[in-house]
Structure 1
Amino acid sequence: MKILTAVDSFKGSISSSEINNIVAKELKLKGLEVIQKPLADGGEGTIDALIDSTNANKIECTVTGGLGEKIKSYYAMMHNGTAVIEIAQICGLPMLPSDKRSPLYTTTYGVGEAIIHALHKGAKHIVIALGGSATNDVGIGMLQALGVTVSDALHQPASFGASSLENITHIDFSTRSPELKNIPISVITDVQNLLCGEEGATFVFGPQKGLSPDDCIKVEKQVQRLCSLTPLLQKYKNTPGAGAAGGLGVACLALGAKIYEGAEWFMKTLQLKETIQQVDAIITGEGKLDSQTLSGKAPISIARYAKSIDKPVIAIAGSIDIQLLSAFYESGIKICLSVLPGIQTLEQAITLSQSQQNITYISQQIATFLTWPKE
């Protein structure tokens, strides 16, 4: 029996590669053949999953972090010349101390620096994974790093963070770096929010990143004003995904980027459909199986395709919204299993050592079930 393991990371706990290694080890001990595909959907862990799944090269770089300091980061360079930049590795929320998390001051400048670095390394295509940002600067920092002129009434460059948006009076895309010419840019995200409005970047994601209700009202006003300064931002502000990463999505679209759902992009890049056709069963999952899973995240995309060719899917997770079990089953998941063997606090469950034990436990149960004598 041949099994595909393609489990996404348990965010803040254990990486996709680590999970799939544990599952594969236990399955192999029972004599099962295993194909591993570490998984992501554009958020935290995207680069590591790509490197582990495709043998892409890890390219280290020094860029500006979310708080304006210089940091060590990296991106993936695939063998076809595609550079995949994960913003969570540059201006991601988990990279900042909890008392420093405020989109009023965080910047995407380092994303632009990483793009330039990749171009100098010979990249022929730039892919930006937009999940997990600590920013709400509408991508202004990234645009500045790429040569776009963003200035105030005194013709001074805009400062970092959403707090500086109110001072911006001029945006000129014609000054962008000539290195961007003829370089295709793609954006992958599992977020479909527009830039503005109650379901836009600021009101939906701002509070998670540290904005107060009053901050959200002020920043939203400035984001809308900013769009009126240039036809390019105005043109794309209502495009699904424009609100991803605190509006970084709309800045990428203004540069000519095409936007893709992270799960579907990964399915294609990792050739998951072809692999699913070759196996007898699939094990997938993520930290929490809930309504967001059903919105098109990687595990459900796998399940839907597997269902179309009658391949069984087992999903594992730290927690499961049991009210949605019927929806999971309808999507192609045959069994939903929690990795928790007993009562644990959240703090206990998300530690690396406990996560490893929990995933080992459930993997042993799955391996035993899959090798149970058939009559």
Structure 2
Amino acid sequence: MEVLAAFDKCKDSLSAWEICSLVQKTLYSEFGIENTKIAPLTDGGEGFVEILTKAKGGTFHSVQAKDSLGEIKKAKIGIVSGEELDSSMLDFMNLSASKKLAIVEMSSIVGLADLPVEKRDPWETSSFGVGELLWESSRLGADSILLGIGGSSTNDIGVGAMSALNIEFSDLHDRKIPFPAPKFWSDIKEISSVNKLHLPFIRIACDVTNPLLGKNGATFQFGPQKGLKPESLSGMEEKISNMSARLSLILGKSLDLRNQPGTGAAGGIGYGLNLFYDAQFLAGFSLVEKWLELENRVRGSDLIITGEGRFDNTSLYGKGPYEIIRLASKYDKRVILMAGSVDEKALMKCKSEFSNVEIYAFGKKELSLQENLINAPKFVEEKVIEIFSEL
């Protein structure tokens, strides 16, 4: 029996690589299953650089940049040759095989998971470090950049990143504002892109289709999970609206860009990049599916086992494990989904749509979240043994 283990991360406990490898090891040690292939998944957030770069035999480059609060942090940039990508992938990205592609992960430098809860505040955080990573990618000789924007802690429409790329934000006294987080925007009197650093074409991997503004926009939809207090939502929305209009006016760009699907993702960084640079959004899972050749791997497997930290209503809107179930259904393959916790409504909806799926929770309801996170490796192993003992 050939098994495919294709998991996304279990946030704060197991990376996608770790959980896939754990399942592979358990199936071999407990059941003698030798043909378990692994396909770690990513949504553009944590693991984006590692998973995509490893899959194509690329190289990693360690760099330093500022995190979302301005502290120096190490991060990795992946470099992959276009020669390692098949024709369908090159066509999807409109990329030449002779080109060198840099892979950058926003969450590796300004990730929400890296901030303690008490420090999560979009008024204070900045995407400055993302701009530094983009510039380092250019310095590494990249002909094109692939940016994954999941899991960010910022809500600054890329103003911080632009600052790192020599777009100057100055105060009334012509002093440059070095770290222009939203709390400083009232002090900005002058914006100049005269000394803007050049970047190659940027492709932004994103499955979020939200616009920049409004009830489904960056602030109201994602601000609270980044630490924005309810009483601050309207104030932040006004700041984003005013700053985005100001930047559009300076650059002579249409305000219609604010309605483009995806501009509300990751605090609107895609909006800022599209204003100042040649950039475009790419469907995140479509990219990963083609990059990892997931459809062929699903078709060639007898059984697929997938999962993530929590399976809930958000999982049904394009997240990796749900898309794996969809692919498995296409080829009438049996699929098992394991998640730390499972929302009952999402379970029922998924099972009503797909007859080929079995869904299990490996977390323990009687334990606290922290206890479940600490014991996740043990619980995953136990659940795999339980499920496969009954096959």
Is 1:243 the counterpart of 2:264 in the alignment? yes
Is 1:293 the counterpart of 2:315 in the alignment? yes
Within 5 Å, which residues of 2 pair with 1:296-311? 296-311=318-333
Aligned length: 365
Distance in 2 (alpha carbons) for counterparts of 1:95 and 1:113: 18
SS in 2 for 1:127: strand
| More displaced 10-residue stretch of structure 1: 130-139 or 186-195 | 186-195
The answer as to whether partners of 1:148 and 1:173 remain within 8 angstroms in 2 is yes
Over residues 256-299 of structure 1, what are the superposed CA-to-partner deviations in whole Å (9 max), with x where a residue is unaligned?
32112322221111111121121112111111111110011011
Distance in 1 (alpha carbons) for counterparts of 2:13 and 2:117: 17
The answer as to whether partners of 2:23 and 2:381 remain within 8 angstroms in 1 is yes
Identity over aligned pairs, percent = 33
SS in 1 for 2:77: strand
The answer as to whether partners of 1:105 and 1:160 remain within 8 angstroms in 2 is no
Distance in 2 (alpha carbons) for counterparts of 1:118 and 1:49: 18
SS in 1 for 2:4: strand
**Any gaps of 5 or more consecutive residues in structure 1?**
371-375
**Any gaps of 5 or more consecutive residues in structure 2?**
83-99
Aligned alpha-carbon RMSD (Å): 2.0
For 1:58, give the aligned amino acid: F
Aligned to 2:379: 358
Aligned to 1:319: 341
| One of 112, 116, 128 as aligned partner of 1:93 | 112
Closer, same or farther: CA 233–86 of 1 in aligned 2, 3 Å: farther
Aligned to 1:257: 279
Aligned to 2:133: 114
| More displaced 10-residue stretch of structure 1: 106-115 or 245-254 | 245-254
For 2:361, give the aligned amino acid: S
Within 5 Å, which residues of 2 pair with 1:39-188? 39-80=41-82, 81-158=100-177, 159-173=179-193, 175-178=195-198, 180=199, 183-188=200-205
SS in 2 for 1:285: strand
The answer as to whether partners of 1:9 and 1:16 remain within 8 angstroms in 2 is yes
Q: CA deviation at 1:185?
A: 0.8
Over residues 71-119 of structure 1, what are the superposed CA-to-partner deviations in whole Å (9 max), with x where a residue is unaligned?
1111222233222211111011222233322111211111111111111
Aligned to 1:373: none
Distance in 1 (alpha carbons) for counterparts of 2:254 and 2:162: 12
Distance in 1 (alpha carbons) for counterparts of 2:112 and 2:305: 29
Aligned to 2:372: 349
For 1:327, give the aligned amino acid: K
Closer, same or farther: CA 200–358 of 1 in aligned 2, 3 Å: same
The answer as to whether partners of 1:37 and 1:53 remain within 8 angstroms in 2 is no
Distance in 1 (alpha carbons) for counterparts of 2:365 and 2:210: 37
Aligned to 1:22: 22
Q: CA deviation at 1:217?
A: 1.6
Distance in 2 (alpha carbons) for counterparts of 1:199 and 1:161: 22
For 2:159, give the aligned amino acid: I
The answer as to whether partners of 2:316 and 2:346 remain within 8 angstroms in 1 is no
Q: CA deviation at 1:360?
A: 0.5
